[in-house]
Amino acid sequence: MNPEQFVEELKKENIILSDQQLEQFNLYFEDLIETNKHVNLTRITSKEEVYLKHFYDSVTPLLHFAQFFGQDASLCDVGAGAGFPSIPLKILRPDFKVTIVDSLAKRLTFLDNLTKKLGLDGVELVHGRAEDIGQNPKYRQQFDIVTARAVANMTVLSEYCLPLVKEGGYFVALKGPKAQDELKESQKAVDVLGAELVASKELTLPLSQEDRSLLIFKKIKATPKKYPRQAGMPRRKPIQ
Express each pLDDT in 61-101 by its tens digit. 999 999 999 999 999 999 988 999 999 999 999 999 999 99
The per-residue pLDDT for 177 is 86
Cα(240)–Cα(228) distance, integer angstroms: 14
The per-residue pLDDT for 223 is 97
Let me know: does 161 contact 146? Beta carbons within 8 Å: yes
Cis-peptide into 61, omega within 30 deg: no
pLDDT tier, 240 (very low <50, low <70, confident <90, very high otherwise): confident
The per-residue pLDDT for 156 is 94
pTM of the model: 0.95
How many Cα neighbours within 13 Å face the side chain of 86? Answer: 31
Tell the burial category of 33 from Cβ atoms under 10 Å away from its Cβ (0-12, 13-18, 19+): middle
Q: Which CATH class is domain 3-236?
A: alpha beta
For residue 66, the SS3 value is helix
* Residue 150 scores a pLDDT above 90: no
Cα(201)–Cα(211) distance, integer angstroms: 11
pLDDT tens profile 100-138 = 999 999 999 999 999 999 999 999 999 999 999 999 999
φ, ψ of residue 170 to 5 degrees: the values are -130, 145
- Binding site for S-adenosyl-L-methionine, by residue number, is 79, 84, 130-131, 149
pLDDT tier, 179 (very low <50, low <70, confident <90, very high otherwise): confident
Percent of the chain topping pLDDT 90 = 90
- Binding site, by residue number, is 79, 84, 130-131, 149
pLDDT tens profile 26-68 = 999 999 999 999 998 989 999 999 999 999 999 999 999 999 9
Instruction: Name 228's bridge partners.
Output: none
The per-residue pLDDT for 152 is 81
